[in-house]
Each structure stands twice: as C-alpha cells, then as structure tokens.
Amino acid sequence: MKEEKLNALISLLDDSDPNVYMNISKELSKLPASNIPYLEDIWLESDNPLFQERLEAIIDEIHHNSIIKELINWKNSPKQNLIDGAILINRSISYHLSTNNVKTTINKIVDEIKPEIKELESYLDKIKILNHFLYFIHNYMVLSPQEETNWGGNISTVLAQKKGNYIITSIIYAGIAQALKLPVFGIQLPNSILLSCERSIDPASKRNYFYINPIDTGAVLSTMQLEHVIKFKKLNNLPQYYKPCTNLDLIKLLIQNQIFCYGRQSNYKYVEILKKLLNVLLLKKN
C-alpha cells in the first residue's frame, strides 16, 4: 500500500461513522507486519484516545495475522524446529521479543556441547554430557507446581531466568538435543512429559529407546523404569506412552498449558490469542 493511501486511511480512524471505521479497519488489518513500527510511531504522536484505541486494535490484528501465517509455515515445514515453534508462541504475546537473543542463548549451549560429544559413540553418553552442561554448568531448573507465574512457558523469559515449567523445559532440552543431531523427542504422559532417545546410533538396528526426565536433571530411565512410573501414576499401560510424539505435539501442549495459565489469571485476551494458534495446529490442513 502506498504511503499516501495509508495515511489517508489512518486519518479516518476516528470517524464517527462505525461503518467507515469497520471498512478502514478491515483494509488496514491486511497490512504486513513490517508496517507495525510506522503505525506505532503514529500511535505515540496522537493524543486522541479513540484514535489510539482503534489503531492499537489494528496493530494487534496485523501482528496476530502475521504470527498465524508464520505458524502455518512452521507446521508445514519438514523439521518443525522446536525452538522456532516456542518462539512463535512467545511472540504471539510479546510483540517485541528479540528472536536473536533466544537463538543466541540456545546456539551458545549447543556450541559448548558439540565438541564434548563429537568422539562419543553412544547416545546415552552424549545425553549425560548434555545433562551436565544444561543443569550443572548453566544451572537450569524446573518451576515447582506451587510457583505460579505468567511467564513459566515463555521461552525468552525462561532462558533469562534459567527456570521454567516442565513443558518449556522439555522443549528446550529436546530442541538443544535435536540441534546436536540427537534423536530426542517427547513422550506424552497425562500431566507430564518425558523424553525418549534411541539407544543405538546404527540406523539399521531395531528401534529401542531409553527415556529422559527433564524435570529431574535429565535422569535416564529404562523401559522397565518407565513402566513403574506409569503404574505409580495409576495410568493404563498404553503403547503410546513408550513411543516418541512429534514436535507439533509438544508445541500444542505448550499452547494448552499457556491457555490454562492465563485463564487462571483471568487474562482472557491472551487466552483468545492462544486458542486461535491452537486451532491452527489442530487443523489437518491450512
């Protein structure tokens, strides 16, 4: 859209005719996210409350439309990078999140671990090194259920605080592992997450897994130990509890948990934003 037309539309935002506002809002909401800084500058220069309220609503709509498009692209991408998925969910709430800061933090940990595992021959030994760096050098911790926060699932804040809920901690762990070419994926248990990793590096071998508890500094579990966990939780011993889920499944769990957390705080604006994102991921085709 040309600047002259854009400014003409913006100048009519405080028009008293609701139909005029609705038509202008519909047109401006189609703008790409690259226009948001310009619109924010106009918002700051205005002293008209009605104009600011309406422009803010349009900026929100542009931002959310952009996030939905990016989430659809992420969903349809072959790798469905976990860290990128978590960043998108965080950005849906935090407009000005610095993606570079998140990726720099993750890449720093990956780069520190990579040379330490290069010569190791088993995935189990590599996981032990990952655990050492994540929990004992970088000192990441998991929030207890009693610690209620509104940021426990936001990857940017969790990386800064080095503490997060069990879902985002699992996503960060698996994201780092996958960046290191380790076959680590989620295992969905009701109200908890474990991670799985193949035992053998040999691709010709039959798939056999060990399990990782990211809540307990990456403690490793055998299949038998996982079976004991399932019995302790009084769950039916289903085959799905032993098989990896997809990265898409983990990001859906993250959104569902965020909806619950913001709902508990009566932050219904964020709840509605997150529900729209969840619907995007639940659809079979976009």
Does residue 257 share a domain with residue 139? yes
Show the tokens assigned to 71: 């989430």
Does residue 91 share a domain with residue 26? no
Q: From first to last of the 286 residues of the chain, give the pLDDT tens digit.
A: 888 999 999 999 999 999 999 999 999 999 999 999 999 999 999 999 999 999 999 999 999 999 999 999 999 999 999 999 999 999 999 988 889 999 999 999 999 999 999 999 999 999 999 999 999 999 999 987 767 777 778 999 999 999 999 999 999 999 999 999 999 999 989 988 999 999 876 666 667 899 999 999 999 999 999 999 999 999 999 999 999 999 999 999 999 999 999 999 899 999 999 999 999 999 877 6
The answer to whether the CB of 180 falls within 8 A of the CB of 125 is no
The Cα–Cα gap between 45 and 125 comes to 58
Does residue 140 share a domain with residue 274? yes
Instruction: Give the structural domain span for 197.
Output: 82-282
**So what's the pLDDT on residue 149?**
74
Site of tokens 């439309």: 65
Does residue 98 share a domain with residue 71? no
Provide the number of structural domains found in the chain. 2
Residue ending a domain, choose from 23, 41, 76 = 76
Does residue 129 share a domain with residue 49? no
**So what's the pLDDT on residue 206?**
63
Residue ending a domain, choose from 76, 92, 111 = 76
Does residue 23 share a domain with residue 142? no
Give the pairing type, strands 219-221 and 209-213: antiparallel
Does residue 187 share a domain with residue 97? yes
Distant-in-sequence, close-in-space partners of 109: CB < 8 Å, separation ≥ 6:
133, 134, 138, 176
Residue ending a domain, choose from 76, 108, 123 = 76
Does residue 121 share a domain with residue 43? no
